[in-house]
């Protein structure tokens, strides 16, 4: 699971854990120091100061009051002086006592204090007596007081005060012992913590260093890969440059072709327009032709009738010619019978007969011809009538052709606009291809730079060796890299990138683990 | 009128089926178109009938039948040639149906060759000779011999009957 965490995270984890341990130790130490400080403060405030105050009270009683009374009896001091000293001593005692009472009292101390207060009331009574004696300046009473009353009334108080002082010393000793215990436990805990954190830190560091070493190895691989890839990118980008130049040329050719096509299309448009016009004209012509044909058919029918008439008439002529022939023959016969006298007439009759025969033949021929003419005319009439629907159909077809020509025209216009677009796109393509060429050149130089940078920063000769040993094909660089390069890494000694042994100047900047 | 002179020179030619025949012009009276022909009962097959020729009865003979051909089929060219036939001292006028009348032509005597007697389907006594005109042979008929005495009798009877009626 930890393998998947980033190296920086690992480092951060290490630093965080170590910092947490340090902070924990620090907080623990500060807490203990605070406890020690509290102990010291208690020692001073609750033990040392009370001792001073108690000593002050005791001193006030012994030195200011009792000693002064003795000195007065021995006449070493006068009454006025004594009175002042006693007043001072009384004030000192009450002040110190009040201060003492303000401090912390242990239960045992409290009991002792109560006893002391009881004794102090007795001492106060005797003090009042002393004050009366001093005011009266009664030396007898003084003597009696000093000898009989003073010591019994003051000694218990002093004894109690001494007990209290002893108690302070004892309690201070107890506190000292307590503080010793705190110190020892704290130091033991701290040692344990330090040892534990050291162990944890070292373990974690070893782990992270191992990870970083792995990462470095992976980085070596990566650098190899990047170097190869940059070579490949360089060659690929060169190829790409060439290809894109080719593409650019192709695009230019395309552009020219598209222009040619556009020109052809324009010609075609003109042709189609011409076609449309021709078709429309043809349509008009066919309509006219249909009319003419109908008229022609009618004319042919009339011709047929006329020819039939002619044939009839010609038959009559033929008949006449035949009869003339007969008459001529008769005349010839008559002339022949007339003998020598009829010779001239015979010649005339023969001529007439010949003419009659010729006209008969001609009539027969005309008859045949007119019969032929009639049949031909009838046939042509029929053909003309048959032509009409065909021509009407042609007219329809021509109309359709005209309509489709118009459609073609619009289609051609669309094609023209599409061609325009195509031309634009092709020009764009050409520009893009040129851009691509320059970009690939830039890419190539970038790849070279990248390779140089990688070589510079990662023991270049090793990578170079690999690169020379395994020239990678452009289009199969992945496969080639994964198979050939890895194999090369595994098999060849020159590929074993050992970053640890050979320390150089740059490596000395880094700490070794 | 000099019949012999005429006979030496002019001939009328006509056609029967594919053959061309010629007769002396002196024997020909006239040429007629086919009028309405009245059939005569119980007459021989070659007697087609009689016609009215300007008030006279003219017997008409089917020449084709007489010559042993099929019966004449009437066309526009079919004509009746009126002959004057001399039998002995008697003369007779009769009409002969011919397929068509050709022309009147002059044939010199030296152009006329005698007809061959063998292989001729016509009786040789009918034919005076053969003449060559324009690469065609025409047979010159002796019209007097074509019609025998029997024919004449039949014709005469028909004519008389017709006249008496």
Does B8 or A412 have the greater pLDDT score?
A412
* Predicted pLDDT at B81: 93
A73-85: pLDDT as tens digits: 888 888 888 888 8
* Predicted pLDDT at A47: 85
**Residues of chain A contacting B101 with CB distance shorter than 8 Å:** 326, 329
A481-508: pLDDT as tens digits: 334 444 444 444 444 444 545 555 565 5
**Residues of chain A contacting B12 with CB distance shorter than 8 Å:** 329, 333
Running along chain A, 513 residues long, what does each successive block of 10 average in pLDDT? 66 83 86 87 86 87 83 83 85 88 84 87 85 83 83 86 88 88 87 86 85 85 82 81 82 83 84 86 86 86 88 86 88 84 85 87 86 86 84 85 85 85 85 84 84 72 42 39 40 45 57 57
* Predicted pLDDT at A333: 87
Mean pLDDT estimate for chain B: 79
- What does the block give as tokens for A156? 């218990």
Q: Which pTM does this prediction carry?
A: 0.43
**Residues of chain B contacting A332 with CB distance shorter than 8 Å:** 25, 103-104
A282-315: pLDDT as tens digits: 888 888 888 888 888 888 889 889 888 888 888 8
Residue from the list B26, B29, B31 with its beta carbon closest to the beta carbon of A326:
B31
**Residues of chain A contacting B28 with CB distance shorter than 8 Å:** 333, 337
* Predicted pLDDT at B98: 92
Number of CB pairs, chain A paired with chain B, less than 8 A apart: 50
* Predicted pLDDT at B5: 43
Residue pair A510/A257 in contact by the 8 Å Cβ criterion: no
Cβ within 8 Å, pair A336-B30: no
- What does the block give as tokens for A119? 């004794």
A25-51: pLDDT as tens digits: 888 888 888 988 988 888 888 888 888
Residue pair A172/A47 in contact by the 8 Å Cβ criterion: yes
**Residues of chain A contacting B5 with CB distance shorter than 8 Å:** 339-340
Cβ within 8 Å, pair A329-B9: no
Q: A interface mutation test: which of B23, B104, B106, B107 has the most A CBs within 10 A?
A: B104
B143-152: pLDDT as tens digits: 887 776 666 6
Residue pair B78/B72 in contact by the 8 Å Cβ criterion: yes
Residue from the list B6, B28, B30 with its beta carbon closest to the beta carbon of A339:
B6
Helix runs in A43-106, H state only = 49-59, 68-73, 79-102
**Residues of chain A contacting B25 with CB distance shorter than 8 Å:** 332-333, 336-337
B110-165: pLDDT as tens digits: 888 877 665 555 556 678 888 888 888 888 888 887 776 666 666 666 665 555 54
A368/chain B closest Cα distance in angstroms: 16
B→A interface, C-beta within 8 Å = 1-2, 5-6, 9-10, 12, 25-26, 28-33, 76-77, 79, 101, 103-104
* Predicted pLDDT at B121: 54
Task: Please say if the pLDDT value at position B62 is more than 50.
Answer: yes
Q: What ipTM did this prediction achieve?
A: 0.82
Residue pair A153/A122 in contact by the 8 Å Cβ criterion: yes
**Residues of chain A contacting B103 with CB distance shorter than 8 Å:** 329, 332, 350, 353
Cβ within 8 Å, pair A333-B103: no
HEC letters along A129-185: HHHHHHHHCCHHHHHHHHHHHHHHHHHHHHHHHHHHHHHHHHHHHHHHHHHHHHHHH
A341 to chain B: closest CA residue: B1
Residue from the list B5, B12, B33 with its beta carbon closest to the beta carbon of A339:
B5
Q: Which of A3-12, B68-77, B79-88 has the lowest mean pLDDT?
A: A3-12
A331 to chain B: closest CA residue: B30
A265-268: long-range contacts (C-beta < 8 A, 24 or more apart)? A265/A412, A265/A415, A265/A416, A265/A419, A266/A416, A268/A412
CA atoms within 13 A on the CB side of B134: 3
Residue pair A345/A331 in contact by the 8 Å Cβ criterion: yes
B42/chain A closest Cα distance in angstroms: 32
Residue from the list B2, B10, B79 with its beta carbon closest to the beta carbon of A326:
B79
Phi and psi angles of residue A221, each rounded to the nearest 5 degrees, phi first: -55, -45
Cβ within 8 Å, pair B6-A332: no
Cβ within 8 Å, pair A339-B79: no
Q: A interface mutation test: which of B10, B74, B75 has the most A CBs within 10 A?
A: B10
């Amino acid at each position: 699971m930890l393998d998947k965490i980033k190296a920086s995270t690992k480092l951060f984890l290490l630093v965080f854990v170590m910092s947490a341990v340090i902070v924990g130790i620090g907080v623990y130490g500060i807490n203990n120091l605070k406890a020690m400080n509290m102990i010291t403060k208690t020692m001073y405030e609750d033990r040392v100061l009370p001792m001073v105050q108690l000593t002050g009270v005791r001193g006030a009683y012994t030195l200011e009051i009792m000693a002064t009374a003795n000195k007065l009896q021995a006449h070493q001091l006068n009454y006025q002086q004594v009175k002042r000293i006693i007043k001072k001593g009384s004030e000192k005692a009450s002040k110190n006592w009040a201060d003492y009472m303000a401090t912390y009292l242990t239960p045992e101390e409290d009991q002792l204090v109560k006893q002391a207060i009881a004794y102090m009331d007795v001492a106060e009574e005797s003090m009042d007596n002393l004050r009366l004696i001093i005011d009266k300046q009664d030396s007898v009473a003084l003597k009696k007081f000093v000898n009989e009353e003073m010591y019994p009334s003051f000694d218990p108080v002093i004894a109690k005060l001494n007990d209290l002082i002893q108690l302070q010393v004892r309690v201070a000793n107890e506190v000292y012992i307590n503080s010793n215990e705190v110190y020892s436990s704290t130091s033991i805990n701290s040692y344990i913590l330090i040892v534990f954190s050291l162990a944890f830190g070292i373990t974690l560091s070893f782990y992270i260093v191992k990870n970083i070493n792995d990462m470095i190895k992976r980085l070596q691989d990566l650098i190899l890969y990047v170097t190869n890839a940059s070579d490949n990118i360089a060659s690929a980008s060169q190829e790409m440059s060439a290809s894109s130049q080719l593409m650019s040329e192709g695009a230019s050719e395309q552009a020219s072709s598209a222009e040619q096509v556009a020109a052809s299309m324009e010609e075609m448009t003109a042709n189609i327009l011409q076609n449309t016009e021709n078709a429309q004209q043809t349509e008009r012509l066919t309509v006219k032709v249909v009319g003419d044909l109908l008229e022609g058919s009618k004319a042919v029918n009339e011709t047929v009738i006329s020819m039939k008439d002619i044939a009839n008439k010609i038959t009559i002529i033929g008949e006449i010619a035949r009869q003339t022939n007969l008459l001529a023959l008769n005349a010839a016969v008559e002339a022949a019978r007339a003998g020598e006298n009829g010779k001239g007439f015979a010649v005339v009759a023969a001529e007439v007969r010949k003419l009659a025969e010729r006209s008969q033949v001609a009539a027969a021929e005309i008859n045949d011809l007119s019969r032929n003419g009639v049949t031909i005319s009838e046939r042509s009439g029929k053909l003309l009538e048959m032509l009409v629907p065909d021509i009407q159909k042609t007219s329809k077809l021509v109309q359709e052709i005209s309509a489709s020509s118009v459609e073609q025209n619009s289609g051609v216009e669309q094609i023209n606009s599409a061609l325009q677009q195509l031309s634009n796109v092709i020009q764009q393509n050409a520009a893009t291809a040129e851009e691509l060429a320059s970009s690939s050149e830039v890419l190539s130089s970038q790849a070279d730079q990248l390779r140089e940078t990688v070589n510079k920063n990662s023991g270049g000769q090793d990578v170079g060796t690999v690169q020379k040993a395994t020239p990678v094909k452009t289009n199969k660089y992945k496969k080639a890299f994964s198979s050939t390069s890895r194999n090369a890494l595994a098999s060849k000694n020159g590929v074993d990138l050992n970053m640890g042994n050979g320390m150089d100047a740059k490596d000395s900047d880094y700490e070794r683990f | 009128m000099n019949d012999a002179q005429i006979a030496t020179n002019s001939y009328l030619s006509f056609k029967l089926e594919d053959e061309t025949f010629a007769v002396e012009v002196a024997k020909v009276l006239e040429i007629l178109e086919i009028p309405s022909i009245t059939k005569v009962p119980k007459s021989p097959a070659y007697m087609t009938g009689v016609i009215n020729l300007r008030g006279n009865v003219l017997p008409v003979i089917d020449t084709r039948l007489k010559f042993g051909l099929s019966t004449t089929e009437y066309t526009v060219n079919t004509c009746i040639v009126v002959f004057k036939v001399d039998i002995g001292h008697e003369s007779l006028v009769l009409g002969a149906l011919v397929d068509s009348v050709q022309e009147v032509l002059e044939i010199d005597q030296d152009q006329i060759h005698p007809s061959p007697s063998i292989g001729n389907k016509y009786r040789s006594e009918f034919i005076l000779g053969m003449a060559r005109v324009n690469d065609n042979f025409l047979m010159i008929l002796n019209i007097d011999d074509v019609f025998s005495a029997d024919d004449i009798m039949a014709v005469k009877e028909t004519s008389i009957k017709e006249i008496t009626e």
